[in-house]
A and B are shown apart, each in its own frame.
Chain A
């Protein structure tokens, strides 16, 4: 028998749910597909030289003039949907994961600040959190993009602003509990610098709920980005994410050319659901009390 470490126990508890393992496997596959998109994709969808407008809107399985089979059909530009989706997936994941991580850093820092500084700073930060959480995410994102305009970085910024409050609220709550504990008192008695107490002692203990929220937020961010891009407020047409691909296909769907929207949609769906499956199990394992 191997020694029981907290990490090993976590792994075995996580693996207890077959559904969660399945979700993890699916998500890993999706992530690998996205990372190696340029290797896997039979066509570079952004290289206009490779596109032939004559191949536009071909149904799945059609052969191109050059003998290549479009597995999932083509869009209006004659782009191979499969290739386009792999690249789109890459952008969706990058925006989703990137914004979640960035928001985690911002939210965690502010949450820790609020918990440790207390007083007015605490009140101000938490009021802002309350105010923001009382508005739906789509509205907040809409406001920001209305002011900033389109663009990948602007979308990431909008998502960060939407999400940071969740981290801040949870981190502050955990930190408020943890700071009452003896080990923090002990560290303070040793006159350790405050930043050291916060980052070396407090932060590791806030980590489990943070991981859970981060997972949920990645899924939310991907969905929100797709929605914004679908509305034409998100990523630019030169860097289409899954949401924008779906939007492109929308106009052709009414004439029965379903594949341009349908496959990116399914991919988006599978991605979100697989992350949620992992997230639900993480929540149960890491923090049984943290339930929405």
Chain B
């Protein structure tokens, strides 16, 4: 197991390195690094100084080494707009995004699993069919439009929920969080729901498929033959089997959710990393863009690794497969 984790770590490092090359090539070769990395307001002398300072007159491989060295030290440049280290800016915005993404993943469980369970147990009923039809919409609706509709209905027409922003935050471990205040939770509800829509559909379908697949299994019939209550059969015997793939997929989706938060944050003016990157792209604040891309790649790879390890812990067949 240790060697397996080490091997995975090694692979992950390799992917991160590959990504730095791609980002580097994107910024330094396809684009003009002078335009990208130097503020347009800088004068000629300033430009020359920065070019020399950043080593842009050096051969490419040296530039890459410089970039990589900076990245390793956590230095990915300064934002032109905020005049702060790009990494620090992103780190400041990250909690808002993480809180939103984690809530969205929790939503997809709390809505997706019961709906999928119901649709799986009553596949031919009216409600079961409606749930499935709804999940198709959840897959094909562009999420930004759904977000707009949510705002239109709940904020504009009904006026029951705030439309934008994070609301009141409460500081914990030196970081402001919205989920600690009622106002913050009210602000978070719509964006989180919007962000979770795709995952709700996904979890719902996985759960339904799992239920349909598991119910006719002999072990379910045997569990019933033991005289267990229907609740125990469904919630322990059936659900436990389904939760393994569901949790795995959801874990993997956490990365996507963070990426798609870009859209939701823009719709609901949620001040997270996603909104920062869109704003940065629109004002060409490129150090922030590069820093964001590197961060999200790292995040992705970390999540994938953690999920793989969790999956091993969750599923006894995988965990103990080697020993028996």
A and B touch in the complex (CB under 8 A): yes
Which of chain A's residues has its CB closest to B281's CB?
A146
Contacts of B151 in A (CB 8 A): 253-254
A247-266 CB mask vs B (1 if < 8 Å, else 0) is: 00010011010100110010
Closest Cβ of chain A: how far from B124's Cβ, in Å? 18
- Assess the A226–B155 pair: CB atoms within 8 A: no
- Assess the A226–B30 pair: CB atoms within 8 A: no
- Assess the A265–B293 pair: CB atoms within 8 A: no
Restricting to B180-221, which residues have a CB under 8 Å from any CB of A? none
Q: Which of A64-72, A111-119, A186-194, A228-236 contacts B (4 or more CB under 8 A)?
A: A228-236
Query: What total count of A-B pairs have CB within 8 Å?
Result: 98
Q: Which of A10-18, A28-36, A205-213, A269-277 contacts B (4 or more CB under 8 A)?
A: A269-277
Q: Which 4 A-B pairs have the closest CB atoms?
A: A136-B256, A139-B259, A147-B26, A136-B259
Which of chain A's residues has its CB closest to B155's CB?
A254
- Assess the B142–A262 pair: CB atoms within 8 A: no
- Complex: A227 Cα to B145 Cα, angstroms: 9
Known: A231-B262, A268-B142. A246 touches B27 (CB 8 A): no
Restricting to B121-137, which residues have a CB under 8 Å from any CB of A? 136-137
- Assess the B262–A142 pair: CB atoms within 8 A: yes
- Assess the B26–A143 pair: CB atoms within 8 A: yes
Q: Is A49 an interface residue (CB 8 A)?
A: no
Known: A233-B281, A268-B142, A276-B140. A147 touches B155 (CB 8 A): no
Q: Is A134 an interface residue (CB 8 A)?
A: yes
Between-chain CB contacts (< 8 Å), 6 pairs: A143-B23, A233-B282, A246-B148, A258-B152, A269-B145, A273-B140
B1-39 CB mask vs A (1 if < 8 Å, else 0) is: 000000000000001001000010011001100000000
Restricting to B273-287, which residues have a CB under 8 Å from any CB of A? 277-278, 281-282, 286
- Assess the B304–A134 pair: CB atoms within 8 A: yes
Which of chain A's residues has its CB closest to B277's CB?
A142
Known: A131-B18, A254-B163. A136 touches B260 (CB 8 A): yes
Q: Is B156 an interface residue (CB 8 A)?
A: yes
- Assess the A230–B26 pair: CB atoms within 8 A: no
Q: Select which of A134, A144, A148, A227 is within 8 A of B300 by beta carbon.
A: A134
Closest Cβ of chain A: how far from B298's Cβ, in Å? 12
Q: Is B149 an interface residue (CB 8 A)?
A: yes
Which of chain B's residues has its CB closest to A249's CB?
B148
Known: A147-B31, A265-B149. A227 touches B156 (CB 8 A): no
Q: Is B289 an interface residue (CB 8 A)?
A: yes
- Assess the B296–A139 pair: CB atoms within 8 A: yes
Which of chain A's residues has its CB closest to B29's CB?
A147
Most chain B CB within 10 A, of A136, A226, A246, is at A136
- Assess the B141–A135 pair: CB atoms within 8 A: no
- Assess the A253–B148 pair: CB atoms within 8 A: yes
Which of chain A's residues has its CB closest to B23's CB?
A143
- Complex: A138 Cα to B148 Cα, angstroms: 19
- Complex: A145 Cα to B151 Cα, angstroms: 28
- Complex: A253 Cα to B136 Cα, angstroms: 27
Known: A246-B148, A276-B136. A254 touches B156 (CB 8 A): yes
Contacts of B143 in A (CB 8 A): 227
Question: 6 extra interchain contacts, Cβ-Cβ under 8 A, other than A231-B263, A250-B148?
Answer: A134-B300, A143-B23, A226-B145, A258-B156, A261-B148, A268-B142
Contacts of B116 in A (CB 8 A): none
Interface size for chain B: under 10, 10 to 19, 20 to 34, or 35 or more residues? 35 or more
- Assess the A272–B304 pair: CB atoms within 8 A: no
- Assess the A256–B140 pair: CB atoms within 8 A: no
- Assess the B142–A138 pair: CB atoms within 8 A: no
Q: Is A219 an interface residue (CB 8 A)?
A: yes
- Assess the B259–A246 pair: CB atoms within 8 A: no
- Assess the B156–A253 pair: CB atoms within 8 A: yes
Q: Is A285 an interface residue (CB 8 A)?
A: no
A103-146 CB mask vs B (1 if < 8 Å, else 0) is: 00000000000000000000000000001001110110011111
- Assess the B27–A147 pair: CB atoms within 8 A: yes
Contacts of A171 in B (CB 8 A): none
Contacts of A95 in B (CB 8 A): none
Restricting to B251-275, which residues have a CB under 8 Å from any CB of A? 255-256, 259-260, 262-263, 266-267
- Complex: A250 Cα to B278 Cα, angstroms: 16
Q: Is B144 an interface residue (CB 8 A)?
A: yes
Contacts of A261 in B (CB 8 A): 148, 152
Closest Cβ of chain B: how far from A196's Cβ, in Å? 36
- Assess the B27–A138 pair: CB atoms within 8 A: no
Closest Cβ of chain A: how far from B25's Cβ, in Å? 9
- Assess the B259–A138 pair: CB atoms within 8 A: yes
- Complex: A276 Cα to B281 Cα, angstroms: 32
Closest Cβ of chain A: how far from B155's Cβ, in Å? 7
Restricting to B74-112, which residues have a CB under 8 Å from any CB of A? none
- Assess the A135–B300 pair: CB atoms within 8 A: yes
- Assess the B140–A230 pair: CB atoms within 8 A: no
Known: A139-B296, A147-B27. A268 touches B145 (CB 8 A): yes
Most chain A CB within 10 A, of B26, B145, B149, B260, is at B145
- Assess the A262–B281 pair: CB atoms within 8 A: no
- Complex: A250 Cα to B136 Cα, angstroms: 25
Contacts of B27 in A (CB 8 A): 147
- Assess the B152–A262 pair: CB atoms within 8 A: yes
- Assess the A219–B262 pair: CB atoms within 8 A: no
- Assess the B152–A136 pair: CB atoms within 8 A: no
